[in-house]
Structure 1
């Protein structure tokens, strides 16, 4: 069958191409799906589009958050059948053959299908909360109020934290407020460490979640963290930054510098499916995300900036790159 796909043909070159997808021999354990919505993950996909991600080969089709209608499927443990709508880690294409296991989950009837792709961003952000030591009443700061950082801030609040959201953009800080983030600070507008200490009774925050992926931002956050606090790397560090690493290490090593713990929060630290020996899994986290979004405990609507046809893909990525105040949560509608 004819299959439309968004393709990163070369750095900063986005195309919609049509290819043939062979569907006559569905392998056991797989399903043929037709996309309804796919969501752009701005940080990862722009990094891929730049040509800077060694694991992404060009030309290639990006994307890893999809809602699809099942067209064909064999026997499966979840009882999913043709005609059901599922959330899965799908690429930006009209049709796809995908594994019918793991995060291949039927969408609950109470969950808006447009919001379901955002579950992937929620589970990415959830990793920072899972690895943290956040307890009821703790002061927590998150820098970077894009999709991932905003959701981390909302999840930290649900964990019982007093949250401070930080970003360069006034618009994103406004969205954070709309999503229930208690305090916001604009980066680059004075002494950030002093402002954070004023909001935290002079001590600093016990947890600082770095969601921008900019190494300098992580280093600059260290004076904001209370003694025996933690710095959590949620955004994948990218780009080059030169500094005195001995000074950075001393924030962790020396009691006089805080004995700060550094933690990584990469989503794939958890197994895909539930395991008798591990509490968390990507499937479990996704089901929790379903519940939080459907119940309104996580606010997604303010983050949904655009729903576009795949034919306008180049516009979508250009907007996410150059007009960050205008473009945020961008869905492709494949209907």
Structure 2
């Protein structure tokens, strides 16, 4: 095989993506080398362009992407549990210790300070080959499609835990605010968990997708100015609202669809910091939660659940890595449901 490959890389100087020919990486002692079948783009990857991330690339050019699936091409000397040819996927943060108190919450909190985010502080997966710490990866269930599995290693795990960690009972109401890349998966998980779903978005096409996935009620919050009243009339208020949108307005309005002491689940990352009414929290009008899913301990459950319940991302793929800018433009437009990726 060739010693080089094409990679989609973020240039920290120009604040743009470029396609570069780079060496195929050699696995370190704890690495698996993955021959990628698919890499998909996550909305958080776009934070590079906004300058809205504390995790700054330490190199001039970093290969983007932290969602992927492929097969093992080579292993480092310390690797156990993987062999060449295994179908695999990995989470977004490698090279932590995976054992400390911080790593039990998110590997970026590792006390050793060694955790690195793929696509941000270490190279990601928008290339034919990429590396992952083997402790941050898993072998896929038998028969799982490698292409549609790729988005599950960020979008899927995030959406699953955002719903599951609300702790709702069968038949209770959950509002999915933002029905696109994350939301269309969250709706599927919520229905598989036998919850009743309210889909809220500003895109009619994404709301149509939400209906097709089983959302019990849908509302366009931009055009239906009385949607909160309708929600209370029909449901008594949501027991939880999962905000998967990166909009500050979505967060501002989310508490208005909650019944008393409902849960506001914080997932989407807006450009500006959130503002909350402290008295509302003190008096229990609603509760605020987050659902970190960035640890290997939390990876297997959503992947196996997805396979068992045939939950798949709506994935549009392109076959040339040179199409990465088209994918970025589609995601920034925000009008098309699902995920976008490169199939290698």
Q: State the TM-score, normalizing by the size of structure 1.
A: 0.83
SS at 2:63 equivalent: coil
Name the CA distance, whole Å, in 1 between partners of 2:45 and 2:168: 30
1:178 paired with 2:192, answer no
Give 1:276's aligned residue. none
SS at 2:163 equivalent: helix
1:70 paired with 2:72, answer yes
1:319 paired with 2:313, answer no
Q: How far off its partner does 1:38 sit?
A: 0.6
Give 2:96's aligned residue. none
Q: How far off its partner does 1:76 sit?
A: 4.2
Tell me: CA distance 1:219–1:327, structure 2 relative to 1, closer, same or farther (3 Å). closer
2:229 to 194, 200, 221: 194
Give 2:306's aligned residue. 292
Name the CA distance, whole Å, in 1 between partners of 2:256 and 2:66: 36
Tell me: CA distance 1:305–1:182, structure 2 relative to 1, closer, same or farther (3 Å). farther
SS at 2:169 equivalent: coil
Name the CA distance, whole Å, in 1 between partners of 2:242 and 2:228: 14
Tell me: CA distance 1:5–1:294, structure 2 relative to 1, closer, same or farther (3 Å). farther
SS at 1:115 equivalent: helix
Give 1:17's aligned residue. 20
Name the CA distance, whole Å, in 1 between partners of 2:309 and 2:255: 36
1:265 paired with 2:300, answer no
Q: Is the 8 A contact 2:147 2:343 kept in 1?
A: no
Q: Is the 8 A contact 2:36 2:125 kept in 1?
A: no
Tell me: CA distance 1:291–1:160, structure 2 relative to 1, closer, same or farther (3 Å). closer
Name the CA distance, whole Å, in 1 between partners of 2:219 and 2:126: 35
Q: Is the 8 A contact 2:138 2:300 kept in 1?
A: no
Structure 2 unaligned regions, length at least 5: 92-123
Give 1:124's aligned residue. 158
The two structures, once aligned, show a CA RMSD in angstroms of: 2.3
Name the CA distance, whole Å, in 2 between partners of 1:136 and 1:69: 38
Give 1:330's aligned residue. 340
Q: Is the 8 A contact 1:110 1:294 kept in 2?
A: no
SS at 2:281 equivalent: helix
Name the CA distance, whole Å, in 2 between partners of 1:194 and 1:129: 23
Q: How far off its partner does 1:175 sit?
A: 1.1
Give 1:32's aligned residue. 33
Structure 1 unaligned regions, length at least 5: 273-280
1:311-334 Cα offsets, whole Å, 9 max, x none, are: 111121112113x33464112112
Give 2:54's aligned residue. 54
Q: How far off its partner does 1:266 sit?
A: 2.8
1:87-119 Cα offsets, whole Å, 9 max, x none, are: 1245212222322223x2222332111111122
1:253 to 282, 306, 311: 282
Q: State the TM-score, normalizing by the size of structure 2.
A: 0.81
Q: How far off its partner does 1:217 sit?
A: 1.6
Q: Is the 8 A contact 2:175 2:197 kept in 1?
A: yes
Aligned length: 304
